[in-house]
Amino acid sequence: MGKRTMAVLAGLAMGPALLMGHAGAVWAEYPPEGDFVRGARLWAENCGRCHNIRDPRELRDDQWITTVYHMRVRGGLTGQDVRDIYTFLKQSN
Amino acid sequence: MAEKRRRLKEAAAAVALGAALGAAPVQGADTARVAEAIRAELEALKSRIRELEKQLAEQRRVEQEVKDLRREVRSAAEWKSPNTLIHMAGYADVGYTDTRSRTGTFGSGTFNPILHYQYRDVVMLESELAMSVDELGETTTELEYLTIDWFANDYVTVVAGKFLSPLGWFRQNLHPSWINKLPSAPAGFGHDQAAPNAEVGVQVRGGVPVSGNGNRLIYAFYVGNGPAAEIESGEIEMIETPGLGGDADGKKVFGGRLGLYFPGRRLELGLSGAAGRVGEIEEVGKSRKYTGVTRDYDFLGADFTWRPRQFEVRGEWVRQKVGDQPASSAPEGGTWQAWYLQGSYRFMPHKWEVVARLGRYRTPHSEVEQKALGLNYIFASNFVAKLAYEFNDDRGAESSGYEDRLLLQASYGF
């Protein structure tokens, strides 16, 4: 791979990261509010695929954030799935 | 004397006041009356001022309290949603194993703390340590995984570092003891057996909805340093897959898993594959060294999960192969292959669960057929007590090292 190609690829990879950096600077709430009803359904469908389903009351809101992002990576969930599931969990604990 | 002076003072005050008000000066009894009235009024004013002062102090106190409360609420919210989250999870287990040819022993099992750091919804650091105590009392600590996961967009997460191999299902998703329904891994699905354990490299993973009814495609592709073949006395002893922190052979391994999940049918299917070249590690004297020789490597796997009602049926087949290499001291390649089929039933709403597992593990040296039966008590979804018996039948020329055994385990995922 030529140095130019590498630079272009690096630029393409960094572009979205820089844009995201800007969005982050606004300090919007995260994760953005999702859909409670869809979240409840997705929780029931997905959170028992690998292990016993965990009770929403087991963890605090902030602990659920890291957990659902961890599970997003494990279970191939989409960003929207995770936002909806988190909305369900934080309102059910 | 004092009384006189006071009177005089009052009179003077009254005169001064009268003058100030522009009234005609008054004399004698009138002066005393007016002074009296004024004194009373002054007293009333004084007490009113005192009252107001008290009210003011009270108001100030309340204001301060509100301020303090506001500050407290703000700092409480700070705890709730900082931009960086720190989270500790993990699991631990303890147990007792009674093997046919040996006396039963207590085992400390493992303590696997997981540390998560997350910056907003942008990036997450995942790390897990595996700690255990061996027979001689030595504590070993291993880095089970350590990755930085960048949530690039809703469908793509880029995972870099040391990760659990995305090939197959058991190793990445079922091995933690609070998840595994039996106290042991199926034969062939332990460390350095047929199913790859970990990998060091880069992974792209995520999921895509494939229809409106929740069906989804799940993917994970990676490139990594790859495993290594362990050579001993002219044979490949095993394929090491601990996630090698270097790539002595200089050739990468590529692979991944594609899965489909149908929530309506409660069915999940997956296919995994990997290929590349791997190095050889040989014991020379007391040290382990790369031989400098590389060989072909490939992996194939298939898995499924079906969870009708309180049943759960899982099955998986894996095959890991290292090619022939005439230039090696162990010229012949080999295949490590294993499968298991596991069924379990949870007696709802009770806490009992029964499990049965059947499997087979074949290496170039040995072959074992394993049957396991288990009874679990699920105190909570993350705290389980397990009792199991494993029947192991050697089918190959050499001993597989597996023996019939009774296993007891308590596991807590936190």
Please give the mean pLDDT across all residues of chain B.
Answer: 92
pLDDT of B19 strictly over 60: no
Q: Are B270 and B315 in contact (CB under 8 A)?
A: no
Residue to test with chain B: of A30, A37, A47, A64, most B Cβ within 10 A: A30
Chain A residues with beta carbon closer than 8 angstroms to that of B259: 76
Question: What average pLDDT does the segment B149-161 reach?
Answer: 98
Please name which of B317, B198, B316, B328 lies closest in space to residue B253, comparing C-alpha atoms: B198
Distances in Å between the Cα of A83 and the Cα atoms of A37, B34, B198 are 12, 80, 29
Question: What average pLDDT does the segment B257-281 reach?
Answer: 97
Enumerate the β-bridge partners of residue B261: B216, B268
Residue B26: DSSP 8-state: -
Q: Cα(B106)–Cα(B135) distance, rounded to whole angstroms? A: 10
Residue A5: per-residue pLDDT? 58
3-state secondary structure B248-296: CCCCCEEEEEEEEEECCCCEEEEEEEEEEEEEEEEEECCEEEEEEEEEE
- Token reading at B401: 């090292």
Pure H helices in B28-174: 28-80
- Token reading at B184: 């042991």
Instruction: Indicate the helix (H) or strand (E) that contains B411.
Output: strand B405-413
How many whole angstroms from its chain centre is CA B190?
21
Residue to test with chain B: of A73, A74, A85, A87, most B Cβ within 10 A: A73
pLDDT of A12 strictly over 80: no
Q: What is the DSSP string of B98-124?
A: EETTS--EEE--EEEEEEEEEETTTEE
pLDDT of A50 strictly over 70: yes
* B176 Cβ contact partners less than 8 Å away, ≥ 6 residues apart: A51, B91, B112, B413
Q: Are A42 and A81 in contact (CB under 8 A)?
A: yes
Q: Are B409 and B386 in contact (CB under 8 A)?
A: yes
Cβ pair B307:A48 closer than 8 A: yes
Phi and psi dihedrals of B301, rounded to 5? -155, 155
Q: Are B218 and B259 in contact (CB under 8 A)?
A: yes
Q: Which of A12-21, B26-35, B145-154, B234-243 has the lowest mean pLDDT?
A: A12-21
A36 touches chain B (CB under 8 A): no
In angstroms, the separation between the Cα of residue B136 and the nearest Cα of chain A is: 34
- At A2, is the pLDDT very low, low, confident or very high (cuts 50, 70, 90)? low
A22 touches chain B (CB under 8 A): no
In angstroms, the separation between the Cα of residue A4 and the nearest Cα of chain B is: 23
Q: Are B323 and B353 in contact (CB under 8 A)?
A: no
Q: In 10 A of CB A50, how many CB atoms?
A: 18
* B341 Cβ contact partners less than 8 Å away, ≥ 6 residues apart: B313, B314, B315, B357, B358, B359
Rg (CA), chain B: 39
pLDDT of B6 strictly over 70: no
Q: Are B194 and B364 in contact (CB under 8 A)?
A: no
- Determine the residue of chain B that is closest to A16 in CA distance: B152
- Determine the residue of chain A that is closest to B307 in CA distance: A49
Q: Cα(B12)–Cα(B31) distance, rounded to whole angstroms? A: 10
Cβ pair B116:A51 closer than 8 A: no
> Of A42, A45, A73, which has the smallest distance from its Cβ to B159's Cβ?
A73
Question: What average pLDDT does the segment B322-345 reach?
Answer: 97
Q: Cα(B383)–Cα(B312) distance, rounded to whole angstroms? A: 19
Cβ pair B173:A74 closer than 8 A: yes
* B246 Cβ contact partners less than 8 Å away, ≥ 6 residues apart: B225
In angstroms, the separation between the Cα of residue B318 and the nearest Cα of chain A is: 19
Q: Are B112 and B128 in contact (CB under 8 A)?
A: yes
| Dihedral angle over CA of B346, B347, B348, B352, nearest 10 | -80
SS3 state at B320: strand
* B302 Cβ contact partners less than 8 Å away, ≥ 6 residues apart: B269, B270, B271, B272, B316, B317
Phi and psi dihedrals of B60, rounded to 5? -60, -40
Residue B398: DSSP 8-state: B
Chain B residues with beta carbon closer than 8 angstroms to that of A54: 381-382
- At B247, is the pLDDT very low, low, confident or very high (cuts 50, 70, 90)? confident
Residue A6: per-residue pLDDT? 58
A77 touches chain B (CB under 8 A): yes
Tell the residue number behind the tokens 């287990």, with chain if given: B93
- Determine the residue of chain B that is closest to A17 in CA distance: B152
SS3 state at B372: strand
Question: What average pLDDT does the segment B44-65 reach?
Answer: 96
Question: What average pLDDT does the segment B399-403 reach?
Answer: 93
> Of B85, B174, B220, which has the smallest distance from its Cβ to A65's Cβ?
B85
Question: What average pLDDT does the segment B212-238 reach?
Answer: 95
Q: ipTM of the assembly?
A: 0.82
SS3 state at B242: strand
Tell the residue number behind the tokens 């079922």, with chain if given: B174
Share of chain B above pLDDT 90, in %: 82
SS3 state at B199: strand
Cβ pair A53:B381 closer than 8 A: yes
pLDDT of B152 strictly over 60: yes
A8 touches chain B (CB under 8 A): no
pLDDT of A52 strictly over 60: yes
- Determine the residue of chain A that is closest to B258 in CA distance: A76
- At B27, is the pLDDT very low, low, confident or very high (cuts 50, 70, 90)? low
Share of chain A above pLDDT 70, in %: 71
Residue B383: per-residue pLDDT? 97
Q: Cα(B189)–Cα(B236) distance, rounded to whole angstroms? A: 18
Looking at per-residue confidence, does A2 or A90 come out higher? A90
Residue A25: per-residue pLDDT? 47
Question: What average pLDDT does the segment B98-124 reach?
Answer: 93
Enumerate the β-bridge partners of residue B202: B160, B223
In angstroms, the separation between the Cα of residue A48 and the nearest Cα of chain B is: 9
Q: Determine the length of chain A.
A: 93
In angstroms, the separation between the Cα of residue B74 and the nearest Cα of chain A is: 15
SS3 state at B45: helix
Cβ pair B154:A69 closer than 8 A: no
SS3 state at A26: coil
Question: What average pLDDT does the segment B329-354 reach?
Answer: 95
State the first-to-last Cα distance of chain B, in angstroms, to the nearest integer.
Answer: 87
